[in-house]
């Protein structure tokens, strides 16, 4: 999703900052699909190395099958079902892996099921090493064509409502400003007319006074 891609990009732009976000869960038949799996270190400044392993349990099955391994900056496909269809899509050029995502090429309906991502991390301190691990589960559903979630539909509706609301507000503001300018113009004309009449009346009075004096 756009949200996932944005958060992933943000994590890279922030000089190594790490943000854990959930993976997408709906894949489309015949297309590629990113299985997102992120496990952040609690302390970014601590040196570390990590390996990532993936398992898959197809819908209707009861056991996980080992499908992919990533260690020492190299990925290995471990299951014939995914032969030439899996690619590393996580942290690049580092053994300190925090993004363990993989990419499935040419998705099929048989890829529907639960995926398990396992991080095995070793933290390196000045006097000792500490080993820790993390597991993520992602349930994937494969569909014939892309469907839009209710959240996406509501978001688009709200966007159009906001645009229409903004346009109406601009129209109201324009009408208000036009009326205000028109009223100010009419007031100025009335003031000028009154001033003109006053000057004309004064001139008449002066002319009458001169005539009487003569």
In the chain, what are the domain boundaries? Answer: 2-147, 148-214
The predicted-structure confidence for 95-142, as pLDDT tens digits, reads as follows 999 999 999 999 999 999 999 999 999 999 999 999 999 999 999 999
* Of 205 and 115, the one with more pLDDT: 115
Q: Does position 13 have pLDDT exceeding 60, yes or no?
A: no
The residue length of the chain stands at 214
Fold adopted by 2-147: Immunoglobulin-like (2.60.40)
- 186: which 2 tokens? 């009419």
pTM score of the predicted model: 0.62
Cα–Cα distance between 121 and 162 in angstroms, integer?
47
Question: Residues with Cβ < 8 Å from 63, sequence gap 6 or more?
Answer: 57
Cα–Cα distance between 184 and 10 in angstroms, integer?
52
Gyration radius of the chain's alpha carbons: 36
Whether the Cβ atoms of residue 53 and residue 37 lie closer than 8 Å to each other: no
Say how far residue 12 (Cα) sits from the centre of its chain: 15
Cα–Cα distance between 32 and 111 in angstroms, integer?
11
Cα–Cα distance between 2 and 163 in angstroms, integer?
21
Q: Which residue shows structure tokens 């349990």?
A: 57
Cα–Cα distance between 88 and 82 in angstroms, integer?
13
Closest CA to 113 of 135, 86, 140: 140
**Torsion, Cα of 203, 209, 213, 214 (10° steps):** 50
Burial of 100 (C-beta count, 10 Å sphere; 0-12/13-18/19+): buried
The predicted-structure confidence for 180-203, as pLDDT tens digits, reads as follows 888 887 887 888 877 777 777 766
């Amino acid at each position: 999703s756009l949200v996932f891609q944005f958060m992933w990009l943000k994590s890279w732009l922030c000089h190594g900052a790490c943000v854990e976000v959930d993976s997408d869960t709906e894949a489309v038949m015949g297309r590629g699909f990113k299985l997102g799996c992120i496990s952040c270190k609690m302390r970014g400044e601590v040196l570390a190395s990590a390996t990532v392993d993936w398992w898959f349990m197809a819908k209707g099955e009861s056991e996980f099958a080992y499908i992919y391994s990533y260690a020492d900056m190299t990925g290995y496909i471990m299951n014939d079902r995914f032969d030439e269809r899996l690619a590393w899509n996580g942290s690049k050029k580092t053994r300190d892996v925090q993004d363990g995502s993989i990419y499935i090429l040419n998705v099929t309906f048989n890829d529907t099921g639960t995926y398990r991502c396992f991080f095995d991390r070793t933290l390196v301190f000045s006097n000792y090493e500490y080993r820790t691990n993390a597991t993520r589960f992602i349930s994937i559903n494969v569909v014939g064509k892309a469907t839009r979630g209710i959240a996406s539909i509501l978001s688009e509706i709200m966007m159009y409502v906001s645009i229409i609301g903004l346009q109406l507000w601009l129209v109201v503001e324009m009408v208000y400003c036009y009326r205000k300018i028109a009223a100010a113009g009419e007031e100025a004309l009335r003031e000028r007319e009154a001033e003109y009449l006053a000057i004309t009346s004064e001139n008449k009075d002066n002319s009458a006074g001169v005539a009487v004096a003569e």
